[in-house]
Amino acid sequence: MFKKILIANRGEIACRVIKTARRMGIATVAVYSDADRDALHVEMADEAVHIGPAPAADSYLAAEKIIAACKETGAQAVHPGYGFLSERASFCEALEAEGIIFIGPKPKAIRAMGDKIESKKFANAAKVSTVPGFLGVIEDGAHAERIAGEIGYPVMIKASAGGGGKGMRIAWDETEVRDGFERARSEAKNSFGDDRVFIEKYIVDPRHIEIQVLADAHGTTLYLGERECSIQRRNQKVVEEAPSPFLDAATRRAMGEQSVALAKAVDYQSAGTVEFIVDRERNFYFLEMNTRLQVEHPVTELITGIDLVEQMIRIAAGEKLALAQADIKLNGWAVESRLYAEDPYRNFLPSIGRLTRYRPPVEGKSGEAIVRNDTGVYEGAEISMYYDPMVAKLCTWAPTRLQAIDAMSDALDGFTVDGIEHNVPFLAALMRHPRWREGRLSTGFIAEEYPDGFAPMAPTDEEAAILARVSLSTHLVDAERRANHVDRLRPTMPARRDWVVKIGDAYHALTAGDAVAADWRPGQSVWRGEIDGRRLTAQLRPFANGLRIDWQGLSVRTRVFTPRLAELDALMPKKLPPDTSKMLLCPMPGLVVSIAVSEGQEVKAGETLAVVEAMKMENVLRAERDLTVGSIRAKPGESLAVDAVIMDFA
């Protein structure tokens, strides 16, 4: 077994690998860029080596610097995590040339499966079911239009070397093919240094289901069940679960056996994932094979009890798998929510900044459930614009699917994150969505259920009544504290019985008897209590003369008044927000890639105004209505803050 390994990655996956290596008694080496000098993975590792400036191309993607760090520290092997160099065969070969072991598959498998075009050709030759498409190199937009017309709309345009939703577009007609081709090729070049794209038929209402495989160098290849990854936004996974609520035993076995056959065909050694799209009749089609550890691997670990990182290390060290296919049992249900630094109320655009408060739920056993949080940040850490915006992966396990979902709902309600915008409100709302809870999923779920984006939700009458009682309870606890400490030298005032709680524009008349006992003290950000037999976890954030309560995707501002003050408050004028309808504001901190219009130009609704890049994703800003461009205040190459004015309209 290795004595020391280097983790060629950052963030939560670097921390995840370090935890398993530490348990196995293996020393670890972290690498870090300028932006990650104070990162959690650097603190957790036994040693750390600086490898360059913040841009990934100059640090985490610089293979020669990783190899130099191995030589400097005496690391015998490298775990690549996911992303960066994890699926680059040339990196694997460079390590082997230096006598350093790559904790992952051999170059042959990486090359065969790592390129989407070549992997499709390989799968076709191996008689694996694949989606109809054109696997050759596409020359230009006109060529892309001809191919799409031959295949039949809709089509998917995908980067050959892509992943993580980058370099991927769905096109429903000729116009979208040409625009999508250019965007996909540009993103592919910027993200992967390879601008090749291909086109395949887009399956309507598909599910994204993947099979986890594990193979050693001694001829044993296993499948560890499946993961349902259909909850996606912009082709990037948001919530995953294991097993799938859709598969039956026969389909699971067929997909598993096909995945094993494919892995054996390329002499696969390590953990890997074979991804499929599955239609309404449970027909499945090979999508791609990820020759690395997946982001969502924890849900498989939770239902099988197998540490995939440990198995990767043991396989790389030459050990035989101590398991047979008959030993693989699926126990209970697991759900993973990806917590991203993005604003769900602004079409999920990236957010950066410092985590002024970061308080995840307590890990471990919680009743019948288990809570796990894989993260690479801490309170006070900074979310950088240079890397993926994922902050944490919150996972729950329970005996049944609905129990796991309810455990996730409660854990999200208690996950406090301040200083950046984040998608916890969306994730919390998703956990209570009827279609999600029933398991009626497809990769179009988010687009179908939130066609206009995720907007702040108004509480129902029942929910408002619950939140009013929470607000009153905290008010009375705080009032008691003031009476016992701050006001103890003043005459005691008689206890008031009648109160009014304002939520939004509505007033709720309550009595002191409507307050409920809770595990909360002034200053705490999480409130836990029980209302009418229902356990409740909510987050509290005070503001001037009021309290904001976040619960199950709701975010309401509350104020507690005496009846007379409530009457006076109702007479106060309302402050209206400024009118920005004649401006194009930058929706996120980012870099202006291009300005598509000129001053005085008349533009139709839907036409492109500008393209802004943030966290390696190009965001096209389009006209919401017919308009005339006034002055343009930004230029290509300029870095803009959120809400900076790009242009205004006449």
SS3 assignment, position 180: helix
Same domain, 596 and 514: no
Give the separation between CA 372 and CA 400, rounded to whole angstroms. 17
Does residue 44 form part of some domain?
A: yes
Q: Check which CATH number belongs to the domain holding 404 and give it.
A: 3.30.470.20
- The pLDDT of residue 351: 87
Does residue 155 form part of some domain?
A: yes
Domain-terminating residue out of 82, 103, 124? 103
CA-nearest of 377, 560, 380, 405 to 467 is 560
Cβ pair 214, 222 in contact under 8 A: yes
> In the structure encoding, which two tokens stand for residue 72, read together?
């400097």
Same domain, 519 and 550: yes
Does residue 326 form part of some domain?
A: no
DSSP 371: E
Same domain, 547 and 608: no
Q: Check which CATH number belongs to the domain holding 31 and give it.
A: 3.40.50.20
Same domain, 13 and 70: yes
Give the separation between CA 10 and CA 61, rounded to whole angstroms. 11
Q: Check which CATH number belongs to the domain holding 149 and give it.
A: 3.30.1490.20
Q: How many CA atoms lie within 13 A of 25 on its CB side?
A: 2
Does residue 208 form part of some domain?
A: no
Name the residue with tokens 């002191």: 512
Does residue 115 form part of some domain?
A: no
CA-nearest of 302, 301, 311, 298 to 270 is 311
Does residue 143 form part of some domain?
A: yes
Domain-terminating residue out of 168, 201, 234? 201
- The pLDDT of residue 491: 46
Q: Compute the Cα dihedral for 474, 480, 481, 482 and give only its sign.
A: positive
> In the structure encoding, which two tokens stand for residue 414, read together?
């208690």
> In the structure encoding, which two tokens stand for residue 300, read together?
């498989």
Same domain, 481 and 536: yes
Does residue 372 form part of some domain?
A: yes
- The pLDDT of residue 581: 87
CB atoms under 10 Å from CB of 44, counted, come to 18
* SS3 labels along 564-620: HHHHHHCCCCCCCCCCCCCEEECCCCEEEEEECCCCCCEECCCCEEEEEEECCEEEE
Give the separation between CA 262 and CA 129, rounded to whole angstroms. 11
Q: What range does the domain containing 64 cover? A: 4-103
Same domain, 637 and 588: yes
What is the torsion angle, in degrees rounded to the nearest 10, for the CA atoms of residue 33, residue 36, residue 40 and residue 45? 20
Same domain, 28 and 91: yes
Same domain, 560 and 638: no
Catalytic residues: 288
Query: Could you state, in chain order, the average pLDDT of each consecutive group of 10 residues for the chain (650 residues)?
Result: 98 98 98 97 98 95 98 98 95 97 97 83 81 82 92 89 78 91 87 85 91 97 98 92 97 95 93 94 92 97 98 98 97 98 88 93 96 97 89 98 98 96 96 97 94 92 96 90 62 71 95 88 92 92 94 96 95 86 89 95 95 82 94 94 92
Does residue 92 form part of some domain?
A: yes
Residue 608 — φ and ψ, nearest 5°? -75, 130
Q: Are strands 608-614 and 617-622 parallel, antiparallel or unpaired?
A: antiparallel
- The pLDDT of residue 616: 66
Give the separation between CA 471 and CA 479, rounded to whole angstroms. 12
Q: What contacts 577, CB < 8 A, 6 or more positions away? A: none
Same domain, 421 and 490: no
Structural domain count of the chain: 5
Same domain, 550 and 607: no
Same domain, 561 and 595: no
